[in-house]
A and B are shown apart, each in its own frame.
Chain A
Amino acid sequence: MKAVYYILRGGIICIALILLFILQTAIMPHLSLASTPNLMLVFVSMMGFMRGRKTGAFTGLIAGLMLDLFSGLLFGTYSFIYMLLGYLNGFFRKIYFGDSIRLPVLLTAATDLIYGFMIYGVFFLLNGKTDVWYYFFNVMMPEMIYTVICALVLYFPAYHLNNLLDRIRNRRERRIA
């Protein structure tokens, strides 16, 4: 019986990720201003600090696998990065109360910057492209700003999704008790 609830919660997260993935790759490129927002990362980060380390890591892994399918990089790269970032965001669950938007904004911004530095470090710095400031101001910053703006929009659906997931879990616990 327990498994049903796990599958239900996992399924909801998967559907949300699929919708975001399609939004990010098929629609956002048409609406990009100097950069396209990283919606998947916003969601992974939110699931991390709203639901904790384990959910964050799993959400990150699934998001990463989807990106890996379409990226043309070594398969598993994004899975690893997103999984790690989802896990790290989980540490902030203790100070997340859902009443202020300050923490989500700060965390998504920081997550996107760390993601930028990770990609830069692995694929650019090691290829001898050492001009970190160029990449910082021209790739990471625009992406971060656009991502934070989208995070503000995405926060409210994610907040309600989190409540929905909470309700599913509570129902299970009530049934056990």
Chain B
Amino acid sequence: MDKKNRINIPGYAVLLFLGLLCIVILFYSFATGFSGGPLSTIADYVFAPMQEGLSNAGGAISHGIDEHREKEKLLAENERLTARVNELESRLTNTQLKENELTRLEELLKLSKDYDQYDTTGARIIAKGTSNWFSTFTINKGSADGIKKDMNVIAGNGLVGCVTSVGKHYANVRSIIDDDSNVSASVSTTEDDMIITGGIEQVQKNGLISFSGLRDSKDKVKEGDAVVTSNISSKYLPGILIGYIAEKKDDTNALTSSGTITPVVDFSHLSEVLVITQLKETGK
């Protein structure tokens, strides 16, 4: 065998070359916000369609397993929920009375203004995150369906996260329980601002996300108060429900408080989400 005919590149040279290539890519994406570019076209035609089909199959399997396990749980839950419905119905009549009064008074004051209604588009989750360390997922709609980077994603009536990168027929979403996620939020009752930070440690321990920097000098914010996205946030549209305060304690600086929030979205059982097709106007 003639060895001379083979080009023998030493291993360390390959490492050096590929290492430098990666570092160049890292710097380039840091400087320009590059997230795939031409490569995402390949992903459009190879990954997204197959993931969509297989995710359905996988869902069917786990659905079958879960079904047996869930049945007993559902019966107990049904009983509990019936009681809850009765309780809520009585409360609803009360609220309806108050609402009637409110409309009447608003008409008097000519204050009638609807809460902001956002246009949404539904999307299915076709793949879950690329590692156990981060809470990201991929949805089956992309730039062809009008999805853009930084659009907000909700499920039910709660905030899920925001879009981090977009391909033609898929988009990646980072959820608010991810360690990399920071959301500027405010308490709905007092409108005090705070920062909500995700983290797997809190989420795994008790399903909560933590908040910090809440200025509440008069100690009016209580446990159970609703927390919504703030109007000073740079990415999130104002007034989207995030969760309810679970625990609050004063920081050692005696100026701010921090604690934990119970999110309204059940992040472990997400399969469909809504994307708000409206970007926050930041004046840029």
Q: Is the CB of A54 within 8 A of B9?
A: yes
| From A25, A35, A52, A120, residue with most partner B Cβ within 10 Å | A25
Q: Are B11 and A87 in contact (CB under 8 A)?
A: yes
B130 is contacted by which of A25, A30, A80, A143 (Cβ under 8 Å)?
Answer: A25
Known: A26-B54, A71-B172. A21 touches B25 (CB 8 A): no
A26 to B55, Cβ gap below 8 A? Answer: yes
Q: B192-248: which have CB < 8 Å to A?
A: 199-201, 204
In chain B, positions 142-165 with a C-beta closer than 8 Å to chain A are 164-165
CA distance A53 to B10 in the complex (A): 10
Query: A72-B134, A124-B179, A139-B132 are contacts. A25–B1 as well, Cβ < 8 Å?
Result: no
A87 and B15 contact, CB distance less than 8 A? yes
Q: How far is the CA of A130 from the CA of B15 in the complex (A)?
A: 31
- Given contacts A31-B58, A57-B15, whether A78 and B130 have CB atoms under 8 Å apart is yes
Q: Answer yes or no: A8 CB below 8 A from chain B CBs.
A: no
Chain A residues contacting B46 (CB-CB under 8 Å) are: 18
* Interface 9-mer from B36-44, B68-76, B97-105: B36-44
Contact stretch, chosen from A61-69, A95-103, A159-167? A61-69
Take A53-B15, A72-B172, A80-B23 as given contacts and tell me if A135 and B1 are in contact as well, using a CB distance cutoff of 8 Å: no
Residues of A within 8 A of B61 (CB): 30-31
Residue ID in chain B nearest A127 by CB atoms? B179
Does A177 count as interface, using CB distance less than 8 angstroms? yes
Chain B interface, DSSP helix/strand/loop, else mixed: helix
In angstroms, Cα B32 to Cα A74, docked, is: 11
A79 within 8 A of B: yes
Q: A28-70: which have CB < 8 Å to B?
A: 28-31, 35-36, 38, 52-54, 57-58, 61, 64-70
CB distance from A58 to the nearest CB of B (A): 8
Tally of B interface residues using CB under 8 Å = 58
A73 interface contact, C-beta 8 A: yes
From the candidates A26, A71, A127, name the one contacting B136 in the complex (CB within 8 A). A71
Min CB–CB distance A116 → chain B (angstroms): 8
A69 x B133 contact (CB < 8 A): no
Q: Shortest CB–CB separation between residue B91 and chain A, in angstroms?
A: 38
CB of A145 to closest CB in B, whole Å: 12
B89 cross-chain contacts in A, Cβ below 8 A: none
Q: Complex Cα distance A76/B61, Å?
A: 34
Is A135 touching B201 in the complex (CB atoms < 8 A)?
Answer: yes
- B14 in contact (CB, < 8 A): yes
A119 surroundings in chain B (CB, below 8 A): 131, 133
Task: State A77–B39 Cα separation when bound (angstroms).
Answer: 16
Which B residues touch A77, using CB under 8 A?
Answer: 26
Q: Given A27-B58, A70-B172, A74-B30, A83 and B130 touching (CB < 8 A)?
A: no
Residues from chain B with Cβ under 8 Å of A52 in the complex? 11
In angstroms, Cα B173 to Cα A131, docked, is 27
Q: Looking across the interface, which residue of chain A has its beta carbon closest to that of B42? A: A69
B contact set with A: CB distance below 8 Å: 1-2, 5, 9, 11, 14-15, 18-19, 21-23, 25-26, 28-30, 34-36, 39-40, 43, 46-47, 50-52, 54-55, 57-59, 61-62, 126-134, 136, 138, 164-165, 167, 172-174, 179-180, 199-201, 204
20 more A-B contacts (CB under 8 A) besides A24-B130, A80-B26, A129-B179?
A: A25-B51, A25-B130, A27-B54, A27-B55, A29-B128, A30-B58, A31-B62, A36-B132, A38-B132, A57-B18, A69-B40, A71-B134, A71-B136, A71-B172, A72-B172, A73-B180, A76-B25, A79-B22, A83-B18, A129-B199
